Amino acid sequence: MKANMPLYYLEERRILLKLISEDGMTIMCKMKNRLNVLGTQVDPFHDTAVATFNEKGLITQFKLYNCRSPIIGIVQMATGKGPYVLSAAREELE
């Protein structure tokens, strides 16, 4: 059951900006969110979503842009595993 629990979830979404292209085929939404990562709040957590639509109004492309380093850092501190382990070990030796 524990494996099915998410490591993080969205507590609050704050939309800062919405833009629509002149042809109406692409939209962009800039957000400043609050996440809960293993019980630790990450605020602000910036996200930018970009969606492109076809002539039928269906999404043909969706991209989410953000920096996941805060999430990875918290998970790594809790588990001892992650991409920053070697960097942390180097800092301890110096």
What's residue 92's pLDDT?
55
Phi-psi region of 57 (alpha: psi -120 to 50; beta: other; left: phi over 0): left
Q: Count the domains in the chain.
A: 1
Domain assignment present for 23: yes
Low-confidence ranges of the chain (pLDDT < 50): 1, 4, 93
What's residue 7's pLDDT?
82
What's residue 63's pLDDT?
98
Q: ∠ CA(80), CA(85), CA(89), 5° rounding?
A: 110
Please tell me whether the peptide bond between 44 and the residue prior to it is cis, using omega within 30 degrees of 0.
yes
What's residue 25's pLDDT?
97
What's residue 4's pLDDT?
47
Domain membership of residue 40 as a residue range? 2-66
What's residue 82's pLDDT?
77
Domain assignment present for 82: no
What's residue 83's pLDDT?
77
Per DSSP, which regions of 1-94 are E strands?
A: 8-12, 15-20, 26-37, 40-53, 59-66
